[in-house]
Amino acid sequence: MKIYTKTGDKGETSLIGGKRVSKGHPRIEAYGTVDELISFIGLLRDQMKEKKIHDTLLYIQDCLMVCAAILAADCEDCNVKIPVLSEENILNLEKEIDKIESNLSPLHSFILPGGHQAVSICHVARAVCRRAERMTIKMSIKYTVPEVVIEYLNRLSDYLFVLSRKLSVDFKAVEHIWSPKL
């Protein structure tokens, strides 16, 4: 099979189920942003020496592939089996968040991203995750989206934020507190 099919040359693509839509369709915007997030999570994972974090990020990439498949499916009864995202996936993120937060000092202000390349990549992934969440919510106004997908993206951005703080500690990076000039 060749990588190029030429079927998208006119600005359309196929959803799971076979329906052809514009590449600017809300489903494409949503799962395309999730795809972008998967790539940034991969870049972040490549920075990790700690096996636990590396493995957690790999697990997250798998869950995001499930999210993308769900968002790309536009059919009641596809002849294709769609993977399932569950409440357990969200609970796993919450457990990781709680573990990480238990070892962090409380935060009472916004922080400015940066201090170490891994920390910055983590913040970029968090921002892309927030955009994926917004695009998915926007899509859900017109199309059915399982709530678990939106909840997962919301919790994932929380995870990425606390992970960025943990990485700041691990890499001895300074967290710069944002102090508005009022």
Whether 63 has a pLDDT exceeding 80, the answer reads yes
Whether 7 has a pLDDT exceeding 70, the answer reads no
Question: Is pTM beyond 0.85 here?
Answer: yes
Here the CATH number for the domain that contains residue 64 is 1.20.1200.10
Neighbours of 101 (CB within 10 A): 14
Quick one: pLDDT band at residue 147, thresholds 50, 70, 90? very high
* Residue 176 within any structural domain of the chain: no
Contact 155, 94 (CB under 8 A): yes
User: Rounded distance, CA 163 to CA 151, Å?
Assistant: 18
pLDDT at 15: 67
H or E element in which residue 125 lies: helix 117-140
Mean pLDDT of 75-89: 85
The string of pLDDT tens digits covering residues 110-132 is 999 999 999 999 999 999 999 99
* Residue 60 within any structural domain of the chain: yes
* Residue 34 within any structural domain of the chain: yes
Quick one: pLDDT band at residue 6, thresholds 50, 70, 90? confident
* Residue 181 within any structural domain of the chain: no
Mean pLDDT of 143-151: 96
**Mean pLDDT for all residues in the chain:** 92
Whether 13 has a pLDDT exceeding 80, the answer reads no
Whether 103 has a pLDDT exceeding 70, the answer reads yes
Handedness of CA 141, 157, 68, 10 (dihedral sign): positive
Whether 70 has a pLDDT exceeding 80, the answer reads yes
* Residue 30 within any structural domain of the chain: yes
* Residue 4 within any structural domain of the chain: no
Domains: count for the chain? 1
What is the full DSSP assignment across 33-102? HHHHHHHHHHHHHTT---HHHHHHHHHHHHHHHHHHHHHHB--SS-SSPPP---HHHHHHHHHHHHHHHT
pLDDT at 114: 96
* Residue 13 within any structural domain of the chain: no
Residue range of the domain that includes 64: 22-74+83-92+112-171
